[in-house]
Amino acid sequence: METLLAEPLEEAKRELFRNGFLDVEVDPTLDLFAEINKLKKEKNAVVLAHYYQEPDIQDVADFIGDSLGLSQQAAKTSADMIAFAGVHFMAETAKILSPQKKVVLPDLKAGCSLADSCPSDLFDHFKSRHPGHVVIMYVNCSAEIKAMSDIICTSSNAQKVIESVPADQKIIFGPDKNLGKYLIRKTGRNMVLWEGACIVHEIFSAEKIMKLKNRHPNAKVIAHPECETQVLELADFIASTTGLLKYTINDGATEFIVATEAGIIHQMQKSSPQKTFIPAPPDNSCACNDCPFMKLNTLEKLYLSMKYELPEVSVPEDIRLKAKKSIDRMMEISAQAGL
C-alpha cells in the first residue's frame, strides 16, 4: 500500500530518472515481468522491441520486429503509450508516425553509430553538391535527415524503394555505404553514396567466417546487408533481421552462421530449437557483435520508463511533418509490394 512518506520518495526518483540518472534503484524483489505487464494494462501501453534487444526484453514485448515491422506497428497501435525497446531513431520514427501517443525510450543514450555518421549540416552541404538527385535514406538516421529526404527505406524494402524511382533519375543514398553498395549491385543503379557505416556490422571478419565454414561445412552463412562486401560475398542468404529469421525457419539447413547482431539468435533459437546458430566472429576478440547502443536498454530501465513515462522522445512539429512525408512514401511503396 502507498504511504504518504512513499510519495515524495517516488517524486524524487522520478526527478532523478528525468535528469538521466538511470540507475534509480529498483526493488530487487519485484517480478519485473509481472510489473511491466501490469503497467501495460494500467496505462494502455504497448512494448515494441527490436530483435537486437536482450532476450528478457524480447520476451516481455507485445511485438518484436525489424525496423519496418516496428514502424508499421507504431503507426497502427491504439495504445496511448509506446515503450520503445530499441534505439533513438526508431523511437523517433514511432513519434513521427504517431504524434498523439507518448513514446518513451528506456535509455535516451541508446543512439546508433550509423545515424550519428550523418549530421544534418554536413548532409545539407553534400546534397547541395549533387543537385537534381532524389534522396533515398535508410531509416537509421535522425528526424532532421528524414526531413531532408524524399523517401525513407529499411533493409526490408530498400530494393523496392529504389526501383520505384524512374531508371534515369539520379539518386543519393545514405547513410550506410555497405547497404548502398549492395543495392547498387542488386538494382544496377549508379547511386551517390554517403560514407556511413554500422560499427557492429563492419566488425565481422570474412577470414574467420571462412574458417568457421570449413569447420561446419553444412552450415549456411546468413548476413544483414549492412555487412561489408567481402562478408556478403560469403553469404548464402542476405536480408533484414525479419528476413533472416524467416529464412532460418523455412530453410532445410540445421546449422547457420549468423552475420548480424547476436540478439536475433534468441528468436531463431526459440523458433527452431533443434537447429544450431553460430554467431559470426568479429575481427578481434571482443564481443563487438553486440550493439552497445541497443544493449543500453535493460528490463529495469524499461520498467522505470513505463512507470515514470520518461524519458519521452519528441520531434519538433515542422521537422516531423517533413520527415513524415518521406516515411509515408516508404509505407506506400511497402504496402504496394505486399511488405
Q: Using the structure block, give the residue that is written with the C-alpha cell 548480424.
A: 260
Q: Which of ligand SF4, ligand 13P, none does 154 bind, CB closer than 5 to 8 A by kind?
A: ligand 13P
The CB-of-295 to ligand 13P minimum distance in angstroms stands at 12
Does the protein bind ligand 13P through residue 67 (CB under 6 A)?
A: yes
CB of 155 closer than 8 Å to CB of 67: yes
Span between the terminal Cα atoms of the chain, in Å: 48
Q: Which is nearer to ligand SF4, 172 or 294 (CB)?
A: 294
Choice from 53, 154, 289, 298 touching ligand 13P (CB under 6 A)? 154
Q: Which of ligand SF4, ligand 13P, none does 113 bind, CB closer than 5 to 8 A by kind?
A: ligand SF4
Does the protein bind ligand 13P through residue 202 (CB under 6 A)?
A: no
Q: Is 159 exposed, middle or buried (0-12, 13-18, 19+ CB in 10 A)?
A: middle
Choice from 45, 97, 104, 114 touching ligand SF4 (CB under 6 A)? 114
Question: Percentage helix, strand, coil, to 5, in the chain?
Answer: 45, 15, 40
- What contacts 165, CB < 8 A, 6 or more positions away? 134, 136, 151, 171
Q: Which of ligand 13P, ligand SF4, none does 199 bind, CB closer than 5 to 8 A by kind?
A: ligand SF4
The CB-of-327 to ligand 13P minimum distance in angstroms stands at 14
Using CB under 6 A as the binding rule, the residues of this chain from 201 to 260 that contact ligand SF4 are none
Q: Using the structure block, give the residue that is written with the C-alpha cell 529504389.
A: 162
Give the span between the Cα atoms of 47 and 67, in whole angstroms: 14
Using CB under 6 A as the binding rule, the residues of this chain from 85 to 124 that contact ligand 13P are none
Please choose, out of 153-161, 206-214, 274-282, 287-295, the segment that lies near ligand SF4 by the rule CB under 6 A.
Answer: 287-295
Helices 6-18 and 299-308 cross at an angle (nearest 10°) of 110
**Beta-bridge partner residues of 222:** 237, 258
- What contacts 107, CB < 8 A, 6 or more positions away? 22, 296, 297, 298, 301, 311
The CB-of-230 to ligand 13P minimum distance in angstroms stands at 19
Which cell is 206 given? 570474412
Q: Which of ligand SF4, ligand 13P, none does 66 bind, CB closer than 5 to 8 A by kind?
A: ligand 13P
Q: Which is nearer to ligand 13P, 54 or 226 (CB)?
A: 226
Does the protein bind ligand SF4 through residue 140 (CB under 6 A)?
A: yes
Q: Which is nearer to ligand SF4, 39 or 70 (CB)?
A: 70
Choice from 113, 149, 157, 298 touching ligand SF4 (CB under 6 A)? 113
Provide the binding-site residues for ligand SF4, judged by CB under 6 A.
52, 87, 112-114, 140, 198-200, 261, 291, 293-294
